[in-house]
């Protein structure tokens, strides 16, 4: 039992959240753009200078390392180091070292800020920078690649696994606190109360907030209470399944967008984290476009230097731009992301449950060719497989001693899926709302397979069978294999 758990842990932390080096390089660029444009590089000197003298009330762990607030000169120096360090991360110059140093300085300086009693939600953003610095995200589309041949460095998957745990645990604790504090009470809606406090007490009345002032449809607010709890607690339960975890990040963007529109509370900093779990969906076309521009910039050392200087000047201008303009960019980006994810949830759900956008290798579905239910399932898939990711073949066409064909098989990348796992692997890639059936993967496999076997044993009696295997029509015959 212990060995099985250890083996499952090893697979999760080193294998499950796998991605390619080029995709990591693209994510590093996206991450730094979101930070610089929407969140801003943190600067501490001007904030510390406004603190009352002698204020320092750190949490126990932090106080074990620091027992007083540093002088202002320390924050002025570290502000400069953080600006330069984050620029180095964005262009991929000594990527690992600059990322670790910058993240640690920000985390430490945030500790001093938080010692005043004001804590925000930014920690996970900089924890992401720290973890991803070990991932090898500077291997491609970086100065390191051009100068130090960093393509020889190994990609690490464990930072994404740990990041999923940190994000899941953060949401879980938020949901657990709401649960034990009575959010699911049927007598009152806590979401409604939270909205009214923001609207009247804090005067947050922009965007769509005024539309909900007199909206007293109780089921809406009660549904919001339940969605909030189940969504936040469920985040931790899906960290071992990267497909479900990405789906939950999509729900999170929808959730944050609604909170912004209703309550004027922005959580744009989380977008930089969520993108890490969409890395496998960065398509070949996107990678090729980045490669094209990278080749143009690095065609010669002189061109690289000129680009670096120009980009650094632009970087400083963006870092120093007015906060009001950054807030406008942040809210616009968050609302745009909300609209995009809502579109995916309603019309392109298969994207949320995909593993990759590259369909060069076609999966093969093998089925019982004389079973009416199986044949109907194949016709069902053919109509909804608009990306044509599947090919088909009968189980009878293989050389095998098997007489009873009680499972559909899906052959994908050298792996063979059977029973309920095969079924869920198929439906999550179909058009319409069928991919949402994949959410049942949270049900233990033994229970899912028990239901599958019950249907499989009775399929001939319930749905009948043919005398011979089906013959595909001419318009789809090219999608069938021997």
Cα dihedral 340, 342, 345, 347 in deg (nearest 10): -70
Q: Are 406 and 453 in contact (CB under 8 A)?
A: yes
Mean pLDDT of the residues in the chain: 88
* Per-residue pLDDT at 343: 97
pTM of the model: 0.91
pLDDT at 406 exceeding the cut of 60: yes
The full 3-state SS of 24-47, as one line of letters, equals HHHHHHHHHHHHHHHHCCCCCHHH
Q: What is the mean pLDDT of residues 384-410?
A: 78
**384 pLDDT band (50/70/90 cuts)?**
very high
* Per-residue pLDDT at 189: 87
Reading the block at residue 40, the tokens are 């801003």
* Per-residue pLDDT at 64: 66
Question: How far is it, in rounded angstroms, from Cα 461 to Cα 482?
Answer: 27
Burial (CB count within 10 angstroms: exposed 0-12, middle 13-18, buried 19+), residue 477:
exposed
* Per-residue pLDDT at 246: 95
Helix (H, G, I), strand (E, B) or coil at 405: coil
Mean pLDDT lowest for which of 49-58, 161-170, 339-348? 49-58
Instruction: Please give the helix or strand (H or E) that residue 390 lies within, else none.
Output: strand 390-394
Q: Which of the listed ranges 33-47, 331-345, 354-368 does the model predict with the highest average pLDDT? A: 331-345
> How is 92-112 classified by DSSP, letter by letter?
TSSHHHHHHHHHHHHHHHHHH
Query: Is pLDDT larger for residue 241 or for residue 118?
Result: 241
pLDDT tens track for 269-314: 899 999 999 999 998 889 999 999 999 988 888 888 898 899 999 9
> Residue 168: which of 234, 247, 250, 243 has the closest Cα?
234
Percent helix, percent strand, percent coil in the chain, to nearest 5: 65, 5, 30
Q: Which of the listed ranges 52-56, 78-82, 452-456, 472-476 does the model predict with the highest average pLDDT? A: 78-82
Reading the block at residue 299, the tokens are 């065609």
% of the chain surpassing 90 pLDDT: 54
Question: How far is it, in rounded angstroms, from Cα 17 to Cα 279?
Answer: 9
Q: Which residues contact 405 (CB under 8 A, 6 or more apart)?
A: 367, 368, 371, 395, 396
pLDDT tens track for 165-221: 999 999 999 999 999 988 888 778 899 998 999 999 999 999 999 999 999 898 999
pLDDT at 359 exceeding the cut of 70: no
Q: Are 228 and 178 in contact (CB under 8 A)?
A: yes
Helix (H, G, I), strand (E, B) or coil at 393: strand
Q: Are 158 and 223 in contact (CB under 8 A)?
A: no
Q: Find how far residue 450's CA is from the centre of its chain.
A: 32
pLDDT at 261 exceeding the cut of 90: yes
Q: Are 61 and 118 in contact (CB under 8 A)?
A: no
Q: Are 254 and 342 in contact (CB under 8 A)?
A: yes
Question: How far is it, in rounded angstroms, from Cα 105 to Cα 119?
Answer: 17
């Amino acid at each position: 039992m212990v060995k099985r758990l250890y083996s499952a842990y090893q697979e999760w932390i080193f294998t499950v959240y796998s991605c390619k080096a080029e995709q990591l390089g693209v994510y590093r660029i996206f991450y730094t753009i979101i930070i610089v444009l929407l969140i801003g590089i943190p600067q501490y000197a001007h904030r510390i200078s406004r603190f009352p003298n002698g204020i320092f009330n750190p949490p126990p762990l932090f106080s074990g390392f620091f027992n007083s607030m540093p002088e202002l000169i320390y924050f002025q120096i570290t502000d400069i180091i953080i600006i330069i360090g984050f620029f180095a991360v964005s262009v991929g110059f000594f990527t690992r070292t600059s990322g670790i140093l910058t993240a640690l300085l920000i985390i430490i300086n945030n500790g001093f800020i938080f010692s005043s009693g004001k804590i925000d939600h930014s920690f996970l953003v900089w924890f992401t920078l720290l973890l991803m610095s070990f991932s090898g995200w500077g291997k491609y589309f970086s100065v390191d690649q051009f100068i130090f041949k960093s393509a020889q460095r190994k990609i690490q998957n464990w930072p994404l696994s740990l990041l999923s745990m940190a994000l899941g645990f953060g949401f879980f604790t938020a949901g657990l606190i709401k649960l034990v504090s009575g959010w699911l009470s049927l007598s009152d809606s806590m979401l409604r109360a939270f909205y009214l406090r923001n609207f009247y007490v804090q005067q947050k009345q922009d965007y769509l907030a005024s539309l909900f002032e007199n909206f007293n449809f109780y089921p809406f607010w009660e549904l919001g209470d339940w969605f909030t709890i189940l969504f936040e607690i469920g985040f931790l339960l899906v960290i071992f399944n990267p497909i479900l975890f990405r789906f939950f990040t999509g729900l999170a963007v929808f959730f944050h967008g609604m909170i912004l529109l209703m309550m004027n509370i922005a959580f744009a900093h989380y977008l930089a984290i969520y993108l890490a779990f969409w890395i496998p969906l960065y398509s070949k076309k996107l990678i090729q476009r980045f490669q094209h521009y990278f080749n143009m910039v690095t065609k010669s050392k002189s061109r690289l230097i000129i680009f670096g200087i120009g980009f650094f000047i632009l970087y400083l201008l963006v870092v120093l731009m007015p906060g009001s303009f950054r807030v406008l960019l942040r809210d616009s980006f968050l609302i745009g992301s909300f609209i995009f994810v809502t579109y995916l949830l309603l019309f392109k759900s298969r994207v949320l449950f995909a593993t990759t956008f590259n369909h060069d290798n076609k999966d093969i579905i093998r089925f019982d060719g004389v079973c009416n239910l199986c044949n109907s399932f194949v016709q069902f898939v053919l109509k909804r497989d608009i990306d044509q990711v599947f090919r088909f073949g009968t189980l009878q066409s293989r050389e095998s001693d098997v007489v009873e064909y009680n499972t559909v098989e899906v052959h994908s990348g050298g792996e063979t899926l059977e029973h309920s796992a095969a079924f869920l692997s198929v439906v999550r890639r179909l058009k319409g709302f069928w991919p949402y059936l994949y959410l049942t993967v949270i049900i233990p496999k033994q229970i899912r397979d028990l239901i599958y076997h019950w249907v499989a044993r009775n399929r001939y009696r319930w749905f009948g069978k043919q005398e011979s295997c089906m013959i595909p029509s001419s318009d789809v015959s090219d999608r069938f294999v021997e």
